[in-house]
Each structure stands twice: as structure tokens, then as C-alpha cells.
Chain A
Amino acid sequence: KNQVEQSPQSLIILEGKNCTLQCNYTVSPFSNLRWYKQDTGRGPVSLTIMTFSENTKSNGRYTATLDADTKQSSLHITASQLSDSASYICVVSAVTTDSWGKLQFGAGTQVVVTP
């Protein structure tokens, strides 16, 4: 079973509207959580990173939240633009003895912004 579950699988929103993506994880012990944006035909690009002690992080119109107690994160997109159409991937890192931090990837939420 995947240790990182994302919902919804896909969503369609009108340009200018807001939306929220969800990520639930069971990865333990927790190190950090990143949200990546993956445009069609490209590799993922990091949007935000949050550690255990952080519960909100913003990057422009993207705001991520983290509740480490319930092991949930969300990514909120404000005033969506056509360029926000992409897959958004939640990636959780576990603490490991080699300090690498093994990554667990969610399957992603496909967002389509329509005019």
C-alpha cells in the first residue's frame, strides 16, 4: 500500500478560482514533506518544503499546510491561472540512518484550469 495517498485524483477548475489538494501519509519517522509541480512532458519541480515544526509555507499563489499529528498536508492554489494546469505530487521523506531521507511519492493530482 502506498504510504502517500493524494486526493482528488484529478480536478477541473475555472481560471481565477481557488482549489485545495490533499495528501495523507503514513511515512514514519517523518523528516519533511514537499509538494512538486509536474508540467506535461517535464520532470517534477519542487514548490514547497515543510519540516515537522512548520505548519504553513507559501510560494506565490501556492500555500501548503502540514498537520504532522494527523499526517495530513494540503496545497491551496489561489486565483488559478492556465499555467497552473499540471500534476501536483506530494513527496514525503523519512528519517534514515544514512541521512539521505528515502522519498515516498504520491500518485499526484492532475489539475486542469479552463478559461
Chain B
Amino acid sequence: DADVTQTPRNRITKTGKRIMLECSQTKGHDRMYWYRQDPGLGLRLIYYSFDVKDINKGEISDGYSVSRQAQAKFSLSLESAIPNQTALYFCATSGFGNEQFFGPGTRLTVL
């Protein structure tokens, strides 16, 4: 079984809808991250969490919110989706040291 899982893997939605992307991990890591990937750009950090009570904004947090429900679960919400949020979204985890382990990604399309 994969160490970092994301659901859904693909989602098509309409402008203005609320969307939640979920991430679960079995690696026992405290640190979890949400990134988005756009063609021609590097991964950009949306939010990160170092433990259940710690949530931090990344470089592109506007329009997004997160919830760390447990050590193993970190969800990303788009309160009112807009077309320029169409992207590939990755969840990642890390333990001691900064190697990050990525989930398989969620392809989100906002029409």
C-alpha cells in the first residue's frame, strides 16, 4: 500500500463550488505539506503543518484553507473554486531531515 494517499485522484468542478482534497499517510511523519504544480512552473507550497496544532501558510495560500485532523491526515479546501485553481495538487510528508515523500497527486479542473 502507498505510504501517502490522496483522494480524489481526479476532480472536475464548477466555479464557485467548495472542494476538499484529502491526504492520508502511514509513514508516521509529523510534517505534512500541500503543493500545486502548474505546467512550466516548479511546485509551489500552499500550506504546511509541522504537527496537529501547527498550520502555516506557504507562498500561495490565498483562496485555500487546510485542516490537520490527525497526525496522519491533512486536507486542503477550496472554499469557492475559480478556474485559475486548475492544477495538479500534491500532498507530501517529511520526518527527520527534509526529504519529502509525495502522494500520487490530484488533478483538479475548475470550469
Which of these binds chain A: B11-19, B78-86, B96-104? B96-104
Interface size class of A (residues with CB under 8 A): 20 to 34
Contact yes or no, B104 A4, CB < 8 A? no
Question: CA A42 – CA B5 in complex, angstroms?
Answer: 11
Closest to B43 in A: A105
Question: CA A100 – CA B92 in complex, angstroms?
Answer: 14
Contact yes or no, A43 B105, CB < 8 A? yes
Given A93-B98, A101-B98, do A43 and B104 touch, yes or no (CB 8 Å)?
Answer: yes
Contact partner of B40 (CB less than 8 A), chosen from A43, A45, A105, A107, is: A107
Question: CA A32 – CA B94 in complex, angstroms?
Answer: 15
Question: CA A89 – CA B102 in complex, angstroms?
Answer: 13
Contact partner of A42 (CB less than 8 A), chosen from B41, B43, B99, B104, is: B104
Q: Does B32 contact A (CB under 8 A)?
A: no
Contact yes or no, A43 B41, CB < 8 A? no
- Chain A positions within 8 Å of B92 at CB level: 43
Q: Does A46 contact B (CB under 8 A)?
A: yes
Question: CA A34 – CA B103 in complex, angstroms?
Answer: 18
- Chain B positions within 8 Å of A2 at CB level: 41-42
Question: CA A89 – CA B92 in complex, angstroms?
Answer: 15
Question: CA A32 – CA B98 in complex, angstroms?
Answer: 9
Closest to A43 in B: B102
Closest to A99 in B: B98
Contact partner of A4 (CB less than 8 A), chosen from B4, B42, B90, B100, is: B42
Contact yes or no, B90 A100, CB < 8 A? no
17 contacts between A and B (CB under 8 A): A2-B41, A31-B98, A41-B104, A41-B105, A42-B105, A43-B92, A43-B102, A43-B104, A44-B43, A46-B100, A49-B99, A89-B43, A101-B98, A104-B42, A105-B42, A105-B44, A107-B41
- A interface residues with partner B (beta carbon < 8 Å): 2, 4, 9, 31-32, 34, 41-46, 49, 89, 93, 100-101, 103-108
- In addition to A9-B40, A41-B105, A105-B42, 8 A-B residue pairs with Cβ atoms within 8 Å of each other are A2-B41, A43-B90, A43-B103, A44-B43, A49-B99, A89-B42, A104-B42, A105-B44
